[in-house]
Amino acid sequence: MKIKSIKAYHVVQPFVDGPYRMSKGRVADAFDAVIVAITSDSGITGWGEMAPLGNFYSPAFPAGTRAGVVEIAPYLIGQDPRGLAGIGRLMDTVFKGHPYIKSALDMACWDLAARAADVPLVTLLGGRESETAELYKVVTHGTVDQMAALAKRIVGQGFHRLQVKVGGNVRDDIERVSAVADAVPNGTVIFCDANAGWTPYQARQFADATRAVDYTFEQPCTTIDENMSVRRSLDKPMVLDESVASLDDMLDIHRKGAADGLTLKISRLGGVTKTRQIRDLAVDLGFMITVEDTGGAEIDTAAMAHLSLSTPEERRLHAIAFHEWVTVRTASNMPPVTGSSMGIPDGPGLGIDVVPDLLGKPFFEIG
């Protein structure tokens, strides 16, 4: 089997709930996605998707993805899409760095390989560990009253896991988190996510003032060493996200004992191949794991679901349903969400049925 053609689409995906706000005035109105279709000489098509969260969240930006896909795609024509490790090495050889650009291409090859084998992607990723994964919802940055009201509304919808955005003015965030905790029932799982917005000094101030609140601290500072300095005096679990950009990063976190859990973003790591590699080793090393991405709709959410449900249940934290964040549709047979849990679609590969007419005209095509 050989890759015969590649198409790439640009799809802007506005948020259902309006602007997504983080600390320090960081805000986005939509995911700006690149969707890739890779078709083999046997007529099977695999799909991949990558969408940065604005230009501010990670070292990735939408225009860079579009430009990079055009550079890499010609080298993939004629390659066997099932040779996933070889595809990854080839992309790293012809295009140094920029793993986020390679993510959708890698994902499409995984989808194609699973469809060619007539099995769900979860089977190739190690097998299905449970029927569904628990979902969390985000309490975006806002005033104390806004955040408490949003948290209460989310719990009223049946969700039990909240990611509360912090990382701004420390004293204000102490009030915000305390108000959120007071607004939701005991037993609600709370993650306080600063998105690397604080210095160690600020993070310790926050942690000391919120000792009475039950939460997991997520990525308070930028570097692994900064987070480790906070962890030494912390009486709560810590999860790192932005610090995990490679296998070396994960191993460094393990050696230093800098975290109890990791959030693995598919595009930050360069695709499904490297995410699976890092996830499997991290599980064996004892980390708790969340697998998600920086954004996207049905295609990317399906990949997240397959990776989540092939993660051992006792090592899985939670998942997120990005396709419910956006106003546009790109596929049918989307990942099923029931209450506060998400499964995977029935069918081979990612299981979804992409509708090309919903994507518009390709901005790039070869083959």
* Tens-digit pLDDT profile for residues 114-145: 999 999 999 999 999 999 999 999 999 999 99
In this prediction, residues 185-206 reach a mean pLDDT of 97
- Do residues 141 and 169 touch, judged by C-beta distance below 8 A? no
In this prediction, residues 222-248 reach a mean pLDDT of 97
* Share above pLDDT 70 across residues of the chain, in percent, rounded to a whole number: 100
What is the pLDDT, as a whole number, of residue 305? Answer: 98
Q: Which residues belong to the active site? A: 165, 265
**Structural domains in the chain?**
3-118+354-366 (3.30.390.10), 124-350 (3.20.20.120)
Given a cut of 90, whether residue 220 has pLDDT beyond it is yes
- For the four alpha carbons of 325, 331, 336 and 341, in that order, the dihedral sign comes to negative
d(CA 10, CA 32): 7
- For the four alpha carbons of 297, 300, 305 and 308, in that order, the dihedral sign comes to negative
d(CA 191, CA 135): 13
- Crossing angle of the two packed helices 298-309 and 272-284, in degrees rounded to 10: 30
What is the pLDDT, as a whole number, of residue 14? Answer: 95
In this prediction, residues 286-299 reach a mean pLDDT of 97
Given a cut of 90, whether residue 341 has pLDDT beyond it is yes
Q: What mean pLDDT, rounded, does the chain reach?
A: 96
What is the tens place of the pLDDT at every residue in 38-52?
A: 999 999 999 999 999
Given a cut of 80, whether residue 23 has pLDDT beyond it is no
What is the pLDDT, as a whole number, of residue 21? Answer: 82
Q: Provide the pLDDT confidence category of residue 24 given band limits of 50, 70 and 90.
A: confident
